[in-house]
Amino acid sequence: MSTYRARSPNARIQPTPGAPHIDVISTRNNSTTMPGIKDALEQIRKLKPDEKLVYTTIAKNHGVSCTTLLRAHRRVQVPQHVANHNQRKLSDQQEADLVRYIEELTARRLPPTRDMVQNFASAVVSDRCSNSWVTRFLNRHSDQLTAQWTTGMDSNL
């Protein structure tokens, strides 16, 4: 395996001849996917009320970071899929209602535009939904909603 260096900010990255080998280990998502974290949390749950909780000792025993264990125990740090779900603007029920409303409008030959979907969602959450939120919403419900161009109507105007 070779190491790399950049010749200039815009240059291509190339191997450096004669450079020592350095292993880079990705730590992305290690905090919530480490196998020892579940065991450490289980040990904390099993502590009796009169036992003293020492994060450092438990973290060392299970080979995890003390800070990670503390955050996981206090539920400050949650798995990514849970964090994503908690940060959504609309709940599952609200999104289902919005999809149903869009389907009703379409059945009445009044298909909403992206701006209208954005306004509907913003009214529900009492906060402005971004254009990227509309894109993610439409992608999440692509099996139920189909985007269509109205060029036939637009060309007559």
pLDDT, average across residues 132-148: 86
> What span, in angstroms and rounded, lies between the C-alpha atoms of 16 and 30?
30
Q: What percent of the chain has pLDDT over 70?
A: 70
pTM: 0.48
Give the pair of three-digit tokens for residue 126: 């009492």
| pLDDT tier for residue 145 given thresholds of 50, 70 and 90 | confident
CA distance 37 to 69: 7
CB of 58 within 8 A of CB of 44? yes
With contact defined as beta carbons under 8 Å apart, do 114 and 131 qualify?
Answer: yes
pLDDT digits (tens, 9 = 90+) for 36-47: 888 888 999 898
Among 88, 90, 84, CA closest to 29: 84
Separation of alpha carbons 47 and 65, rounded Å:
19
Look over the chain and give the mean of its residue pLDDT values, rounded to a whole number: 76
> Cβ-count burial of 132 within 10 angstroms (0-12 exposed, 13-18 middle, 19+ buried)?
exposed
Q: What are phi and psi of 4, to 5 degrees?
A: -125, 150
- Give domain limits for the chain: 30-83, 92-145
For 100, list phi and psi in degrees, rounded to 5: -60, -40
Q: Structure tokens of 115?
A: 């701006």
> Cα-Cα-Cα-Cα dihedral of 83, 85, 89, 91, to 10°?
-150
CB 31 within 8 A of CB 66: no
pLDDT in tens, 117-130: 999 999 998 889 89
